Amino acid sequence: MVTFTRICLRKYGNFVDNLRLYVRGGGGGMGLPRLGGQGGNGGDVWVVATKNMTLKRIKDKYPQKRFVAGAGANSSVRALKGERGKDEEVQAPVGITVTADDGRTIGDLNADGDRVLVARGGSGGSLHSGFEPSKGQTRHIRLDLKLIADLGLVGFPNAGKSSLLTALSNATPQIANYAFTTLRPEIGKLMYQDYKQISVADLPGLIEGAHMNKGMGHKFLKHVERTKQLLFVVDVCGFQLASKTQFRSAFEAVQLLTRELELYKEELVSKPALLVVNKMDLPDAEEKLEELQEQLENPEEFSDLLPADMIPKNYLTFRHIVPVSAVTGFGINHLKSCIRQSLDEDAAAETKAVHREKLQALRHNSHQHQ
| pLDDT reading at 98 higher than 70 | yes
Query: For the chain, what is the domain count?
Result: 2
Point out the least confidently predicted range of 108-112, 142-146, 219-223, 309-313: 219-223
From 126, 145, 164, the end of a domain falls on 145
Three-state secondary structure readout of 334-357: HHHHHHHHHHHHHHHHHHHHHHHH
From 145, 179, 200, the end of a domain falls on 145
Per-residue pLDDT, averaged over 71-81, amounts to: 94
DSSP label of 239: B
Amino acid at 29: G
From 90, 112, 145, the end of a domain falls on 145
| pLDDT reading at 46 higher than 90 | yes
CA pair distance 252, 318, nearest whole angstrom: 15
Determine, yes or no, domain membership for 3.
no
| pLDDT reading at 312 higher than 70 | yes
pTM to 2 decimals? 0.63
What's residue 1's pLDDT? Answer: 28
Among left, alpha and beta (phi > 0; psi -120 to 50; other), residue 284 is: left
Determine, yes or no, domain membership for 356.
no
Point out the least confidently predicted range of 82-91, 201-210, 253-262, 348-357: 201-210
**Residues of the domain holding 325:** 151-349
Point out the least confidently predicted range of 197-201, 242-246, 347-351, 352-356: 242-246
Pairing of strands 18-24, 138-145: antiparallel
What's residue 56's pLDDT? Answer: 86
Same domain, 41 and 93: yes
What's residue 100's pLDDT? Answer: 92
8 A C-beta contact, residue 4 and residue 178: yes
The CATH number given to whatever domain includes residue 20 is 2.70.210.12
Same domain, 187 and 202: yes
Same domain, 213 and 332: yes
Give the residue from 49, 148, 58 showing the smallest Cα distance to 93: 49
Per-residue pLDDT, averaged over 344-355, amounts to: 86
Determine, yes or no, domain membership for 228.
yes
Determine, yes or no, domain membership for 369.
no
Across all residues in the chain, what is the average pLDDT? 83
| pLDDT reading at 343 higher than 70 | yes
Same domain, 53 and 164: no
pLDDT tens-digit series, residues 273-293: 999 999 999 999 999 999 999
Same domain, 216 and 315: yes
Determine, yes or no, domain membership for 359.
no
What's residue 367's pLDDT? Answer: 73
Per-residue pLDDT, averaged over 319-330, amounts to: 94
The CATH number given to whatever domain includes residue 219 is 3.40.50.300
What's residue 369's pLDDT? Answer: 67
Determine, yes or no, domain membership for 368.
no
Same domain, 164 and 122: no
Same domain, 196 and 218: yes
Pairing of strands 66-68, 18-24: parallel
pLDDT tens-digit series, residues 146-201: 666 788 888 887 788 888 888 887 645 444 443 333 445 667 788 888 878 788 87
Banded model confidence at residue 251, pLDDT cuts 50, 70, 90 = very high
What's residue 80's pLDDT? Answer: 93
What's residue 13's pLDDT? Answer: 40
Among left, alpha and beta (phi > 0; psi -120 to 50; other), residue 78 is: alpha
DSSP label of 269: G
What's residue 43's pLDDT? Answer: 98
Rg, C-alpha atoms of the chain: 26
Same domain, 128 and 193: no
Dihedral, CA atoms, 224, 226, 231, 237, nearest 10 degrees? 0
What's residue 125's pLDDT? Answer: 95
Determine, yes or no, domain membership for 362.
no
Element (H, E) at 313: none
What's residue 170's pLDDT? Answer: 60
CA pair distance 331, 319, nearest whole angstrom: 16
| Percent of the chain with pLDDT strictly greater than 70 | 84
| pLDDT reading at 220 higher than 70 | no
Same domain, 287 and 339: yes
3-state secondary structure of 363: helix
Determine, yes or no, domain membership for 8.
no
- Comparison of pLDDT for 242 and 321, the residue scoring more: 321
Same domain, 71 and 196: no
Q: From the centroid of its chain, how far is CA 338?
A: 23
CA pair distance 67, 347, nearest whole angstrom: 40
Same domain, 323 and 207: yes
What's residue 307's pLDDT? Answer: 83
Same domain, 138 and 180: no
